[in-house]
Amino acid sequence: MTDTVGSTSNGNIAILISGTGSNLQAFIDAVASGQLQAKISLVISNNPDAAGLQRAADAGIETLCINHREYEHRETFDAALTNALQKHDIDLVILAGFMRILTPVFIEPYLGRLLNIHPSLLPKYPGLHTHQRAIDAGDDEAGVTVHFVTPELDSGPPVIQARVAIGEGDTAVALAARVNVVEHKIYPLAAQWFLQRRLRLTNEGASLDGEALPEGGVQYPQ
């Protein structure tokens, strides 16, 4: 893995979803507005009932469902996912509410080209129920992190974080709604950096414009 800085590439993106596809819509809107210079070539869901599949179809994007329930092992599901993506010339894979723990069978072929978004200020609160955990801990802020995906769950190097204040009497639902607003801004931004060849995963971690990023990544707004 190396650092390379170059011109913007109108790269092909694949987006993996499991639910409504709110982050998918953020990417669709970013491409339409020109904020993200890319083509969403494929949307894949592991859930045949995911509303995001219709959202993608309405935008004229090719869709595919690979139902994880049809596979006995995570590795065989991941192999099917990998095979599907390899039929397309994909530059970047975006996990957008994809509710599957991926194995090295999928991660290794796309290492350095695979981004996820997690609703906490990593390394705080990997896993689930992040907003409630932040409230229960008495934190004064929560947030969201875009990070590279590595085989360790929610442990890949952070790229960019956005922070949201936790108010007195805040609920996880109210907090999540405010976090969603900023996550829909920073995720396409991170993808644009990658497609501009500004963002890279190196042996030392994430780098932007050839400079190593700090533990939490870029803080948004910059």
Determine contact, residues 16/93, Cβ cutoff 8 Å: yes
123 preceded by a cis bond (ω within 30 of 0) = yes
Cα–Cα dist 87/62, whole Å: 13
Distance of alpha carbon 153 from the chain centroid: 13
Separation between Cα atoms, residue 28 and residue 88, nearest integer Å: 19
Computed on alpha carbons and rounded to an integer, the radius of gyration of the chain in Å comes to: 17
**For tokens 């994909």, what's the residue?**
90
CA angle 178, 35, 23 (to 5 degrees): 40
User: Is 118 considered catalytic here?
Assistant: yes
Q: Point out the catalytic residue in the list 68, 118, 147, 184.
A: 118
Interatomic CA distance for residues 187 and 167, integer angstroms: 24
CA–CA separation, 173 vs 117, rounded Å?
18
167 secondary structure, DSSP code: P
**Angle subtended by helix axes 22-33 and 172-195, to nearest 10:** 40
Rounded CA-CA distance 21/65 in Å is 14
Instruction: Indicate which residues carry an active-site annotation.
Output: 118
